[in-house]
Structure 1
Amino acid sequence: MTEGNDGRHQTFASLDLLWQSGSPYVLPLSGSPWCEIRLDPQAHEVSLRTSYEQPEPDLARLSNVAFTTRVDGERDLAVISIHVDRSVQLAYGLLTEIADAVQLRNLALAAACSASVDRYRSVLSQRMSLSMHAEVGLFGELLVVEHLINTVGAEAAIGAWQGPLSEEHDFAFGDTHIEVKTTSTERREHVIAGLDQLVPVGEVPLLLLSVQITRASVETGSTLPGLVGRVRAAAAGHNTGLDERLSAAGWLIDDTDLYPTYWALRSAPRAYRVDEQFPAITTDRLGAVVPNFGLVSDVEYRVDVTALDHVELPSKLRGFGQTAQGEIQ
């Protein structure tokens, strides 16, 4: 960003003086369509106001930036606001860049925002949602947590949820370990990340819990934020441990609007015993047939368990899939 010196915009020095005064200030910009910049140091906010037009700019994935509309008398306004964490100069520079693109280059507001954001990414950070694969996986694990809270209690359920903490398996109980695999496909195809994910720990039996979910409606399903809210409400006084795991899984409370998809169970969950007959690729199995196996890394593979014989769900998960929020019809 270069410092304005043509009289159209404030210099860095004058902008800093206005900001340090602590008082709100309006800076009109001559040209068409109508535009003005507003400084609000007390709210740590700089905003651009201009005439509303469609299409609206897509700024939802940018943190510290908000797009709103409002009515001022008979005029419909578009308002782009930036929360100033550090540099008012960068926020002001981005908004004046947008205003210049609208007034001097005759760009539509949406196009002006897109072009200007590419130049001023240092003023904001990209909001990134979980990948669809990660969203589906977290949804499935939270369904299990929700069920376990009702069967073994919140403390035990959350304590057993070890997956987000980079432990060997998603859920660890003294008598059983459970690796939860969730898919949105019609077949029970699951991605296995690494050679140790399906290796039992000591003599403790390991089960793969296959969960199938599908896109649903607001009447029949739940969004990821909705499920997070339900589980947090059920966890009550144990939210500290729950929030630690959610954060480790990549969940951010400020990103709830990035997860609009409603999900519901597609079928009854099934459990598979991970034993000598299960098609798992492990270090021991691969090392026995691959020369110089120590040079192999980052192994990921898919396994389709649809046709495999499944076993009865463990007692802690008895009835999982028939709860009010995820009932299988």
Structure 2
Amino acid sequence: MNAPESNGADPSSGPTASSPHQPIDLPWTTVEHYLGRGLGASYRLSATDKPFVSYEIADGGRGIALHVEIGGRHRAPRSPLPAVHIDQVAQGGRRMARLTTPEPELLRDFHDLLLAVADRIVVDGQELDRAFDETVHGWSALLGKPRGMSPQKRIGLHGELAVLARVAQVSGWRAALDSWVGPIGEEHDFALGQADLEVKTTASEPRRHTIHGVGQLSETSGRPLWFASLRLTRGGAGGRRLGDSIKATRDAAAAENIALGRRLDWLLAAAGWDPDQLEDERWTPRDSPLVLRATDMPRLTAEDLPAGSIGRIDHVTYIVDVTGLPPAEQSPVIDLSELTLP
């Protein structure tokens, strides 16, 4: 396998040459090195006498792709998966099928999928359509019963921990843990003094967030509800893994009182955290959170439903985009500017 073509980055580790008996080896840490620094790179995975197959890392940390040469009358196969797109591009005078994902939270898992497809092409000599179909079929059978937290939930927990640590800086860990009510089934994530706070975190460029239910952005008992939109980006070697942030948070809580460390463990388990779940994605805040009053943003509440529908509509999930909305002039909850991951 050829060395990467890039704009100057020097990752600590890289892929090794493939052979008919050796699977492709492109560690995620290498890919993350480029993504975290916003650098592009191209790894040729196929031998020089074989149809061109390459792993592409886009400039600006915008994502990853697999390029597979298609010749003759062949067309790029269609993807049955909404999280995997396949289209056709030109590269170096060749017709190439390009596999990408529109979901930045899934890049780590998508990386493994791309290598599995490439391995079937480069090592086993399969055509792209068969390699893709076999990989999707195998993964679907294996993951019929998902285990652990989804990538979106891990991103969300990371954001909540950042807010939790900020609350602890102001009020101490006992009060901070008292305020973190989302894991115990309350409608909103934090109950802070005289106001509530809902925290949403995304790894995408737009501030698009999934809202679960008509009550998630509704004020309760006359308490003001505030909404914090957090954006994370790939941090490379300088970023924080969720496990790192959890350990730092627990150590800080236990340093105040050992019982608080145990209480945090219980809250993390209630939130869905599995300490045995493997994860090696590193994140860093893209910018300061956008804080809004819930009443000043697009939302659905029970009052927006047609008359007579309460109790008959069982579940509502929608996506709200708050990109470009002006922040609240003053938040009565807590200052989240310059927020860092624990």
**Both structures adopt the same fold (TM-score exceeding 0.5):** yes
CA distance in 2, matches of 1:200, 1:316: 14
What's the counterpart of residue 150 of structure 1?
Answer: 169
Aligned to 2:320: 303
SS of alignment partner, residue 253 of structure 1 = coil
Please show how residues 208-223 of structure 1 align to structure 2 within 5 Å: 208-219=227-238, 221-223=239-241
Aligned-partner SS, 2:237: coil
253, 256, 260: which one aligns with 2:280: 260
Q: Distance between the aligned counterparts of 2:306 and 2:184, measured in 1?
A: 27
Residue 293 of structure 1 deviates from its aligned partner by 5.1
Asked whether 1:205 is paired with 2:227, we answer no
**Contact (CA 8 Å) 1:142, 1:231: kept in 2 or not?**
yes
- Sort the Cα spacing of 1:319 and 1:183 in 2 relative to 1 into closer, same or farther, 3 A: closer
Q: Which residue of 2 aligns with 1:231?
A: 249
Quick one: which of 249, 261, 270 aligns to 1:248?
270
Query: Does the aligned pair in 2 maintain the 1:148–1:316 contact within 8 Å?
Result: no
1:14-68 CA distance string (max 9 Å, x none): xxxxxxxxxxxxxxxxxxxxxxxxxxxxxxxxxxxxxxx9669xxxxxxxxxxxx
For normalisation by structure 1, the TM-score amounts to: 0.56
Q: Which structure: larger Rg?
A: 1
CA contact (8 A) 2:182 2:188 kept: yes
Q: Do 1:271 and 1:313's aligned partners in 2 also have CA atoms closer than 8 Å? A: no
| Contact 1:162–1:172 (CA under 8 A) maintained in structure 2 | yes
Residue 129 of structure 1: CA displacement?
Answer: 3.1
Match of 1:129 among 132, 139, 148: 148
Post-superposition offset of 1:278: 2.7
Give the aligned partner of residue 294 of structure 2: 274
Consecutive unaligned residues of structure 1, counting only runs of 5 or more, are: 1-52, 57-117
For residues 315 and 274 of structure 1, the distance between their equivalents in structure 2, rounded to whole angstroms, comes to: 13
Of all paired residues, the percent bearing the same amino acid is 36
Separation in 1, partners of 2:209, 2:175: 27
CA distance in 1, matches of 2:198, 2:333: 14
The code of the aligned residue for 2:293 comes to R
> Which residue of 1 is the match for residue 160 of structure 2?
141
Give the Cα separation in 1 of the matches to 2:213 and 2:339.
32
Tell whether 2:198 aligns with 1:179. yes
Deviation of residue 149 (structure 1)?
1.4
User: 1:132: how far off?
Assistant: 1.1
Structure 2 SS opposite 1:287: coil
CA distance in structure 2 between the aligned counterparts of 1:271 and 1:166, rounded to whole angstroms = 23
Q: How many Å apart are 1:280 and its aligned residue? A: 1.2
Distance in 1 (alpha carbons) for counterparts of 2:146 and 2:304: 41
Residue 305 of structure 2 aligns to a residue whose secondary structure is: helix
Task: Give the Å deviation of 1:300.
Answer: 0.2
Query: 1:21-100 to 2 correspondence within 5 Å?
Result: none
